Structure 1
């Protein structure tokens, strides 16, 4: 039987092949579609989402499964084509409303905002996913459970709907005629990601765009008003941990400072950008500037190359985590996951040129080399071949020396390094 795990095993290599093709087409057309720091941040957030998903999948699937077994009026047969087709249509409709509410309710936007933070629009943006969507997102799909769609049908359909949306995150595919009128397409989704007044909060469809036409949220991409990407409260950071919590933090702060109790609640359920009048007066925020400069902290070519190499290695380690973590005991799996989150955090700060990132990354590489050398193990793997141990120790040892030399060179030559906090 087709399982979500098998589908993902097929899909992940395809993602990177298509990213490579998109990059080549953009280069051929002499278009600046990719920026290394932005792509690393988007891919890192996608990895973080997958890491969190390993520990929360049972939360979502478990609730759905319990409701499907105990609350459904009947159970639909999983071996009927009409069940899969109707389930996909129903899921896509429910996704539309969850997605729409994700732009209209602040606490839901706090999770969804991660997907919109990039100021670029390319296939890595598609992989930029939240780590906190599991908290409330499951509620939207309970109607499927109550109508008796089996858990295995729901899980596969959810993944199909998500995977479809990968290819629409590109600027190298133009308008597609009739296809744009029926389906979510690159043109339609470019408008969705834009912060221009014309496009703001439109085109929520996952597979079908007809939901937007039906419920009045459709807008067509206009060549005279090209999309500007990002959010109206720019993230201005490559820190993947901060990307996931920044809106939650802002809501907590506004709720704490609000003088009136109803306002403390409204902060969470009002649309994004809403603030109590007294809070906005005491703690004003700058108006959004459509022409603001792209976030791109200065970084030497050598240090940028180091980050690219280390992140590439992390991608391979992340694939290993996704393979072995479900088979591991909870404690070592959690330790492995925390190691990856720490690594992504360190590289994010390093990309910002922060001194703290330099020290965190040196601690990571040196610590990894030392622990593997001493224990002869990798997370959850009790007996590593001696040659693998030597290779890992050499790899992380060389990384430590290389970063130390880079830091020393940049310090001697006056390369600006940002402080820990600004």
Structure 2
């Protein structure tokens, strides 16, 4: 059902990307679109839909197995169950997204979404070809708690569709709405490679998790989009797998099992002996300057 909802949304994605491309051409303070970058993002999006559609078959089977061993019997038709699922699914997404920035193994799957130096609706479609595999574990508690797999699929689709509109430069801050919900302003911060913006604002629909767990950062300066070290390529295969290959190279030259595990599961930028430039190190360096 989730894939069906996303498929129905594809024409809307194409139309809104085209409309935004026309609109931002008239705005001098917006970087706008670049043809090769947009094509790369769209190609990544198509690949993600195809791969996720296949992987989801196995995921649903696993969810159904866990649902048969559920802890609670939650009525599918009750409004309060849907409200509870909204909160629980968004909580799962927050931790999936946060870990995808704080552990290099998960970052290798997620990094392609941040690899564009542009920020527009096409960037939202620059989705991973490997996250469908690495993200499975984060939603496993939901069927165990008693949420029917069909409900989970619907709520995941709602979250994904909500996050689409967050990828725009031209919308200003939205007042009190920003206190609770994720907005373009909050998500621009998330995509910024400015040191103060690194690993911030991981929420899906709600921003309250970031406020509660200390990962919130308001938009104060104009974000510089992309990676701390940009990859300078529009080739979809390189975008999808460059970090996995980098991990393999680092593991091959590791001098110990501990170092190898650090290269794989440590934070992005980690290196033995504290020689790496993780976001925490960069942020501490900025604080001292």
TM-score (norm 2): 0.91
Equivalences for 1:142-161 in 2 at 5 Å? 142-161=140-159
Structure 2: tracts of 5 or more residues without a match: 277-281, 283-289
The one of 204, 218, 237 equivalent to 2:233 is: 237
Q: Is the 8 A contact 1:77 1:83 kept in 2?
A: yes
- Checking the alignment, whether the CA contact within 8 Å between 1:258 and 1:279 is kept in structure 2 is no
In the other structure, the counterpart of 2:103 is 105
2:44 alignment partner, SS class: helix
Q: Does structure 1 residue 168 correspond to structure 2 residue 150?
A: no
The 3-state SS of whatever aligns with 1:189 is: helix
Question: How far apart, CA to CA, are the structure 2 residues paired with 1:37 and 1:148?
Answer: 45
1:34 CA displacement: 0.4
Q: Residue in 1 aligned with 2:272?
A: 276
Structure 1 CA distance, aligned partners of 2:269 and 2:64? 36
The alignment status of 1:92 with 2:97, answered yes or no, reads no
Q: Deviations over 1:190-220 (max 9, x none)?
A: 0000010121110001000111111111111
Partners in 1 of 2:99 and 2:12 — Cα distance?
Answer: 31
Q: Which residue of 2 aligns with 1:22?
A: 20
1:214 — aligned with what? 212
CA contact (8 A) 1:257 1:279 kept: no
Question: How many corresponding residue pairs?
Answer: 276
Partner in structure 2 of residue 39 of structure 1? 38
**Cα separation, 2, equivalents of 1:200 and 1:8:** 29
Residue 228 in 1 paired to residue 227 in 2? Answer: no
| Cα distance in 2 for residues equivalent to 1:65 and 1:42 | 33
Deviations 1:355-412 (A, max 9, x none): xxxxxxxxxxxxxxxxxxxxxxxxxxxxxxxxxxxxxxxxxxxxxxxxxxxxxxxxxx
Summarize deviations over 1:90-142 as a string: whole Å, max 9, x none.
Answer: 00011101111111001000001011000000000001100111222111111
Q: Distance in 1 between matches of 2:213 and 2:119?
A: 26
Kept in 1: contact 2:42–2:122 (CA 8 A): yes
4+ aligned runs moved over 3 Å, structure 1: 277-280
Aligned equivalents of 2:53, 2:91: Cα separation in 1? 26
Contact 1:60 1:134 in 2 (8 A): no
How far apart, CA to CA, are the structure 1 residues paired with 2:275 and 2:219? Answer: 36
Output the aligned Cα RMSD: 1.7
Match of 1:254 in 2: 250
In the TM superposition, what whole-angstrom CA distance separates every residue of 1:46-69 from its partner, at most 9, and x where no partner exists? 111112123211122222221112
Give the deviation of 1:5 after TM superposition. Answer: 4.2
1:75/1:150 contact within 8 Å kept: no
Look at both structures and tell me which one has the larger radius of gyration over its CA atoms: 1
Judging changes above 3 Å, is the alpha-carbon distance between structure 1 residues 83 and 133 closer, same or farther for their aligned structure 2 residues? Answer: same
Q: Is the 8 A contact 1:259 1:278 kept in 2?
A: no
Could you say which residue in structure 2 is the equivalent of 1:267?
Answer: 263
1:75, distance to aligned residue in structure 2 (A): 3.2
Q: Which has the higher contact order (CA 8 A, sep 6+)?
A: 2
Task: Return the TM-score normalized by structure 1.
Answer: 0.63
Match of 1:396 in 2: none
Long gaps (5+) in structure 1: 281-287, 289-422
Q: Is the 8 A contact 2:109 2:134 kept in 1?
A: no
Q: Distance between the aligned counterparts of 2:75 and 2:38, measured in 1?
A: 42
